[in-house]
Amino acid sequence: MKFVLVAVLVMVGAVLGHESVVRMDRGTATEEERRLFDFLMSNPSSKIMMLGSRVTKYKYTNCGEPLKEKMPVSQLTISPDPIPEYGDFKVTFKAEAKVNITRPVMANITIKKEVGNKWVKVPCVGQIGSCNYDDFCEILDMIGECPQPFIDNGVPCMCPFTKGNFTLPDVDLDIGGISILPTGGYSATLNF
């Protein structure tokens, strides 16, 4: 499954919570990767003044082949647009698991951050950033308990994913008073 979405980090961050991200081990990242990660994830105004660094437009595109995918996402909407840095936002999505999806789920996430007029790949540090996962289900296990709107709508947020259609209607999610990501333009691609 391959799709681009700006909000994948916001969703993972909203579900995991900022505290879990902070406690994660930085793993085997090199010192150079850690510095680049820290720079990209810091407040841009503290390092460099970037014009237009606020996310101003959300766009979701499935750039894979939905007929061949195990779980194509046919709709993903986040509002308001622009996506807020703090507080509540609404999420709507529709997906179809064409087969039962069980562990291990090998996945690759590539995240890029816009710096000036260039897109810079965010390195994988502490399982956050552009990472390869032998079993993405282990990351989903960190959620602990699915958010109530997922439970109410029968949408799984942890493995396994049973064959079927999943719809999350216009539900409110709260990312709290702590910004998960610094402002800026992001691009994320998830392949599994």
Give the tens place of pLDDT for each residue, 132-172: 999 999 989 988 888 899 999 999 999 999 999 999 999 98
Sorted by sequence, the CB contacts under 8 Å of residue 74 that are 6+ apart come out as 62, 66, 94, 95, 96
- pLDDT at residue 183 tops 80: no
Task: Please state the pTM of the whole predicted model.
Answer: 0.69
Tell me if 138 sits within 8 A of 158, measured CB to CB: no
Per-residue pLDDT at 126: 85
The whole-number pLDDT of residue 181 equals 63
Q: Is it the case that residue 114 has pLDDT exceeding 70?
A: yes
